Amino acid sequence: MGLGISYSRFRYYLAVFAGNVASFVLQRILKSSASAMPGKVAMTIYPDILKLVDERCQNKIIITGTNGKTTTNNLLNHILREEYTRVLSNLRGANMLQGLVSAFLHDRRKEYDWGIFEVDEGSFKRVTQHLKPDYVLVTNFFRDQLDRYGEIEKAFQDILEALEPLDTTLILNADDPLVSNFRKLHKRNIYYGVAHNQQSTTQQKIVESRFCPACSSYLDYDYYNYGQLGGYHCPDCGFSNPEYDYQITGIDYQDHQYHYQFMDKDEKIKDIKFPYEGIYNAYNCCAALTTALEVGLPLDRVSHSIEHFEYHLGRMENFQFPEKITKIALVKNPIGLSETINSVSLDERTKSMLFVLNDNPADGKDVSWIWDAEVEKMGNVKNIKKIYCSGRRAEDIALRLKYAGVPVELVEVDDAMDQAIGKVLNEDVEIVYLLPTYTAVFQARELVLARLEGSSKKMSMIREYLKNLKLPGR
């Protein structure tokens, strides 16, 4: 027995050592965030390391779903870190097992007040075999990387099966029929959503889930907020939005920021400003507010914290150049791209845009999703001077723009992202929008920062070269 414990401890310390060596090389030499590889190295040596994380966190929240995980995770961290000093989290979007373990290696303690983790839908079942969350927050289900996840019904079923044995509280987006269908697990459910508001519509072209998850009849909608999120009911079995515990009751867009009216379950109303565009951010804020209030924090402090949130991960992130603003917005699936173009259309400043489309494994090898996005909304974007297309599949997004009716003389293809960024930043406009897919977002951010701060781009270029290097058997 004693030898067994000693061997186990030896493997743990060896795993931590090897993971930290990997982290040192990646961070200090290659200037990488090292958000996943150190965890992968450590788990190879000590596969149960995530169970230790479970033991060391007094309270745990897992955030899953398709869109909004990283933003909601960062919002919740921003709120809870003002109240607690020991919070462990994977804040950079590395949301598979190795990402959670890497976060632990970078911030290793004997005990944490909170563990807050975003978890990829495809990894949820494996993560919850190790981590037993007190709360599970589910944001939404949209088609995303079909070659990895399959259709959204499969993602729902996988998470349903993983949730079934857990003793946990579910925090559910009431406006997504699939998410609200987790009610059938009969756990303690808390519902949040965005009520009908001036941004709601009665028509929506991209609706991922048109059928009642209870009886498979066609759902009727009173309004849409975006995608299939809105007010729905089934005429046959009566399945409909559950009653909100927390909700956003009003949304206004002024001076390039959103103004929300938030109502808690005691019907106390709070006006909140949020500087990041997109109706999807109303849902992200509502999800973070709901969770923070459920764990016992006061509304005044939580709302103040949200208003002072700053994002640094390429999700509608601003970079202020002397004569223009540059904004980076990650796009990775049809709904995300459609809603981002919708947000850009609200901005009347003179602008140029750069789309970066990659097809690396983490993006999904299949880029046909761009044909499901409402790229035709580009026709609503005002005062646009030039559109650049770059990335491994630059020609595909240029072709999509052409079929969406964008004049070809506005579009220029440049496969080299660094050059394309240089060109779009040289445009004489008030604002530049960069819309990269997942594997391009961090490099795009680094290249923009290099121009803003005058720092070197060399390590970023070397790292991308190594990532794309084709080795035998790889």
Distance CA 356, CA 392 (A): 8
For residue 193, the cross-strand partners are: 247
Q: Which residues are annotated as a binding site for Zn(2+)?
A: 212, 215, 234, 237
Cα-Cα-Cα-Cα dihedral of 33, 106, 136, 149, to 10°?
Answer: 40
Provide DSSP, 306-373.
HHT----SSEEEEEE-SS-EEEEE---SHHHHHHHHHHHHT--S-EEEEEE---STTT-S--GGGGTS
Chain Cα centroid distance, residue 421: 23
Task: State the catalytic residue, choosing from 48, 220, 271, 366.
Answer: 366
**Which distant-in-sequence residues (6+ apart) come within 8 Å of 355 by Cβ?**
331, 387, 388, 389, 390, 391, 394, 397, 401, 435, 436
Q: Which of 129, 133, 69, 61 is nearest to 95 (CA)?
A: 69
Distance CA 196, CA 199 (A): 8
Phi, psi of 234 (to 5 degrees): -100, 120
Cβ(22)–Cβ(37) under 8 Å? Answer: yes
Residue 241: C-alpha distances to residues 154, 157, 228 (Å): 21, 20, 12
Cβ(219)–Cβ(168) under 8 Å? Answer: no
Q: Which residues are annotated as a binding site?
A: 212, 215, 234, 237
Distance CA 443, CA 417 (A): 9
Q: Are β-strands 246-254 and 257-263 bridged in parallel, bridged antiparallel, or unpaired?
A: antiparallel
Distance CA 224, CA 232 (A): 9
Q: What is the side-by-side order of every strand in the sheet holding 384-390? A: 315-320, 325-329, 431-436, 351-356, 384-390, 411-413
Establish whether 222 is a catalytic residue: no
Which tokens sit at 287? 């999800």
DSSP assignment, residue 26? Answer: I
CA atoms within 13 A on the CB side of 316: 25
**Which distant-in-sequence residues (6+ apart) come within 8 Å of 403 by Cβ?**
375
Active-site annotation, residues:
366
